[in-house]
Amino acid sequence: MCGIVGYFGERNGMPIVLQGLKRLEYRGYDSAGLVLLKENTLEIIKTKGKVSELIALANGREAKIVVGHTRWSTHGEPNYINAHPHTSMDNSIAIVHNGIIENHAELRKELQEKYNFTFRSQTDSEVIAQLIQFFYKGDFEEAFRKMLTKIEGAFGIVALHKDHKQILCARKGSPLVLGVNNGEFFIASDPSPFLEYTKEVIYLNEKQMASIEETGYKIKDFNGFNIEMEIETIPFGIESIQKQGFEHFMLKEIYEQAETIQNCFRGKIRHIENISIKKENIKRIIFVSCGTSYYASLVGKYILEKSSHIPVVVEYASEFRYRHPMLYPTDLVIAVSQSGETADTLEAIRLAKKLSCSVAGIVNVTGSSIAKECGQGIYVHAGPEIGVASTKAFTSQIIAMNLLNVYLNKDPYYRAELIEELEQLPEKVKAFFKTQDVKAIAEKYKDSKYFMFMGRDINYPVAMEGALKLKEISYIPAEGYPAGEMKHGPIALIDENTPTVFLVTKDTVYTKVISNMEEVKSRKGKIICICNEMTEEIERLSDDIILIPKVRWECTPILNVLPLQLFAYHIANANGREIDQPRNLAKAVSVE
Ligand code: F6R
């Protein structure tokens, strides 16, 4: 995780890098730092605080070559010493790193014991700077490449040497993108830091490095051989990474969903045959994913099994990759990931490839590691998701599941009906936002100490997503459960202080869910009901009711999750939480 941004050009790079770090804070915000290269000196500024503190510290400084970092700690607590950049023992080299160097302990030991190197931090990253110094004999790039042959693990690295007007960077497992603009260059974990300067980018591939100098840039493999890379143009603008008047990115992203779900199906829904997933000879689909993407995958299972009669298995990527799964060449393993960088999901896909399965991705971030590794799939095109809690990516992933359903379903009448419904969804999403006041209900329950979320069938994963949203941004314990399981244990938690959010749609399990509501009510539990039709039972049993527009069964999760996202948001906000940057979390979990 961690965010990296570097500038090389003719203007003062400090505001660009500082602003860029602010935009990358979603990747980690345990500490921040930067290095300025000026006339054969490296100046380091860092803080154990967030980027806003770094901005205050760096006030008035100028440089044309600057590299910055915002950290999500893995090795070593978040303090000043462990903040990046890290320097070599002789202070000639500075590096920033995103990822984990798995063999750092042995490398550190060897440098210390055999060559008397001294280390300052507890990080795995410091060894990178020390190794470059160890190998340096006047050729920075050669020393950098030698360092790359020694380190194992995942990395996006950017390095400076005080005597070379050059930025060197390398990627393996952690993203790096180069921005180019008439003689000035940007390097960053994603393009957001430099969107107002250029949309022309090169996404570095696995095991590629780049060298940026006054004469231009070169992309090479780790052996130093030049590689011709295509320049791509980013399809979104600066407005997609600004709050545009909303108090938080999360709120903006929630309200964007009418548009983002449309962006997901636009261009595909009426040209479904263009979906680039080979479907011949596929007998089973296995989704691998984590967190919110895992819940979207579960929704996909309900949709695909019921509507297209395809067996679907959903696996936590972190479990899948370590448990010797039974896979067949007729399996299609699909990675579902917003960031496209989640380490466990990426490794699960690599494992599936090794075992001769077809793989595909349902991914938001274009050019991301998972997208590249899969080579086929569906981009959900939700645009940059900056709030750490995933919202618009979830609804777009469910649209993608529906597109996959249309793609695989053999019944033309069914397909036509579903397509029509999908096309009407944006208007229904807008109608929900216009009519329902979730804020007032959320504030009523803001002091509750524990919440349950219940749903059945396709609404069961949505209940789990509602609980996840609430706990990650409000820090209030919450559990999502299949409502039918309640009496096998969780019902013991119900009393007059426990609110339960029920997802009740008028479908095949409606009466079953009403019975579960009765069970809660008879134990004096409070009930917040999210439903798509007001009925006598619902009115009688519920303390609060949120009405969502009616939609087909396959699309109910999209409407049902909207009030849950707002509910979590307003409870967290009423409790003064840091909504876009909740504690201990980061947006792209590119470490195990
Ligand atoms: C929850 C959340 C996480 C992510 C999970 C997977 O709001 O953001 O649970 O869903 O880390 O991330 P991606 O989808 O990027 O693979």
- For the chain, give every domain's residue range: 3-238, 243-432, 436-592
Please name the residue whose Cα sits nearest to atom 3 of ligand 1. 291
Contact present, 176 and 188 (Cβ < 8 Å): yes
Which residue's entry shows tokens 């994603």?
190
CA–CA distance, 56 with 130 (Å, rounded to integer): 29
341 C-alpha to ligand 1 centroid (Å): 10
Quote the ligand 1 centre to 154 CA distance (angstroms): 19
590 lines ligand 1 (CB under 6 A): no
Q: Is 291 in the pocket of ligand 1 (CB under 6 A)?
A: yes
Contact predicate 101/153, CB 8 Å: yes
Radius of gyration for the alpha carbons in the chain, expressed in angstroms and rounded: 25
Helices (H) and strands (E) in the chain, counts: 18, 24
Task: Write down the pLDDT at residue 50.
Answer: 92
Q: Which atom of ligand 1 is least distant from the CA of 587?
A: 8
CB-hemisphere CA count at 13 Å for 474? Answer: 30
- Please indicate whether residue 290, judged by its CB atom, sits closer than 6 Å to ligand 1: yes
Q: Is the distance from the beta carbon of residue 391 to the nearest atom of ligand 1 less than 6 Å?
A: no
Residue with CA at minimum distance from ligand 1 atom 9: 291
What pLDDT shows up at residue 467?
A: 98
243-432 and 436-592: same fold? yes
> What pLDDT does residue 436 have?
82
Q: Which ligand 1 atom lies nearest to the CA of residue 391? A: 7
Q: Give the Cα separation of 464 and 451 in Å (integer).
A: 11
Q: What's the pLDDT at 584?
A: 84
Ramachandran assignment for 174, one of left (phi > 0), alpha (psi -120 to 50 degrees), beta (any other)? beta
Burial annotation 39-57 (CB, 10 A radius, 16+ → b, else e) = eeebeebbbbbbbeebbee
Give residue 581 CA to ligand 1 midpoint distance, Å: 13
Considering the domain delimited by 243-432, tell me its CATH architecture.
3-Layer(aba) Sandwich (3.40)
Pocket residue to mutate for ligand 1, from 338, 386, 468, 561, most atoms within 8 A of Cβ: 338
The token pair at 537 is: 């039972």
Please give the DSSP secondary-structure letter assigned to residue 173: B
User: pLDDT per residue over 471-509, tens digit each?
Assistant: 999 999 999 999 999 889 988 999 999 999 999 998 889
Ligand 1, atom 5, lies closest to the CA of 291
Give the number of the atom of ligand 1 that is nearest the alpha carbon of residue 588. 15
Q: Count CA within 13 A, CB hemisphere, residue 189.
A: 36
What CA–CA distance (Å, rounded) separates 582 from 571?
Answer: 13
- The CA 290 to ligand 1 mean position distance, Å, reads 6
- Report the atom number in ligand 1 closest to the C-alpha of 370: 16
> What number of CA atoms fall less than 13 Å from residue 588's CA on the CB side?
32
What pLDDT digit, counting tens, does each position of 98-143 carry?
988 989 999 999 999 999 999 999 999 999 999 999 999 999 999 9
Q: Is the CB of 308 under 6 A from ligand 1?
A: no
Pairing status of strand 200-203 against strand 184-188: unpaired
Distance from C-alpha of 485 to C-alpha of 158, rounded to nearest angstrom: 50
Cα–Cα dist 16/369, whole Å: 25
Residue 589 has a pLDDT of 73
**Ligand 1 close to Cβ of residue 339 (< 6 A):** yes
Q: Whose CA is nearest to atom 16 of ligand 1?
A: 337
Question: Is any atom of ligand 1 closer than 6 Å to the C-beta of 337?
Answer: yes
Is the distance from the beta carbon of residue 345 to the nearest atom of ligand 1 less than 6 Å? Answer: yes
Hey, what's the torsion of the CAs at 104, 109, 115, 121, to 10 degrees? 60
Apex 35 CA angle, 29 and 39, nearest 5 = 170
CATH of domain 436-592: 3.40.50.10490
Q: What tokens were used for 131?
A: 């190794």
pTM for this entry: 0.84
From the CA of 334, how far away is ligand 1's center (Å)?
16
The rounded Å distance from CA 487 to ligand 1 centre is: 30
Q: Strands 65-71 and 31-38: what pairing?
A: antiparallel
- Tokens coding 255: 């309200």
Work out whether the CA dihedral 17, 19, 25, 29 comes out positive or negative: positive
Burial class (CB in 10 A: 0-12, 13-18, 19+), 137: exposed
Atom of ligand 1 nearest to the CA of 339: 15
Nearest ligand 1 atom, CA 291: 9
Please give the CATH number for the structural domain made up of 3-238.
Answer: 3.60.20.10
Q: How far is CA 161 from CA 134, 168, 180, in A?
A: 13, 9, 22
Catalytically active residues are 2, 587
DSSP letter assigned to residue 383: -
Q: Which atom of ligand 1 is nearest to the CA of 469?
A: 7
Separation of CA 589 and ligand 1 centre (Å): 8
d(CA 293, ligand 1 centre) in Å: 6
- Is-contact 132 85, C-beta < 8 A? no
Q: What is the predicted pLDDT for the residue at 591? A: 67
Q: Among residues 223, 226, 232, 140, which one has the least CA distance to residue 178?
A: 232
Report the C-alpha gap between 404 and 398 in whole angstroms: 10
Q: Is ligand 1 within 6 A of the CB of residue 250?
A: no
Q: Is 33 in the pocket of ligand 1 (CB under 6 A)?
A: no
Residues composing the chain = 592
Q: Taking Cα atoms as reference points, which of 576, 560, 592, 543 lies closest to residue 425?
A: 560
- Would you state the pLDDT for residue 360? 97
Structure confidence by residue, pLDDT tens digits, 295-321? 999 999 999 999 999 999 999 999 999
What are the structure tokens assigned to 390, written together?
């995933």
**Ligand 1 atom with the shortest distance to the CA of 289:** 16
| Å from CA of 362 to ligand 1 middle | 13
The angle subtended at Cα 316 by Cα 285 and Cα 391, nearest 5°, is 95
CB 127 within 8 A of CB 93: no
Is 572 close to ligand 1, i.e. is its CB under 6 Å away?
no
- What pLDDT is attached to residue 36? 98
Q: What distance in angstroms lies between residue 473's CA and the mean position of ligand 1's atoms?
A: 13
Q: Please identify every stretch of the chain with a pLDDT value under 70, giving residue numbers as ranges.
A: 591-592
Residue of minimum CA distance from atom 11 in ligand 1: 291
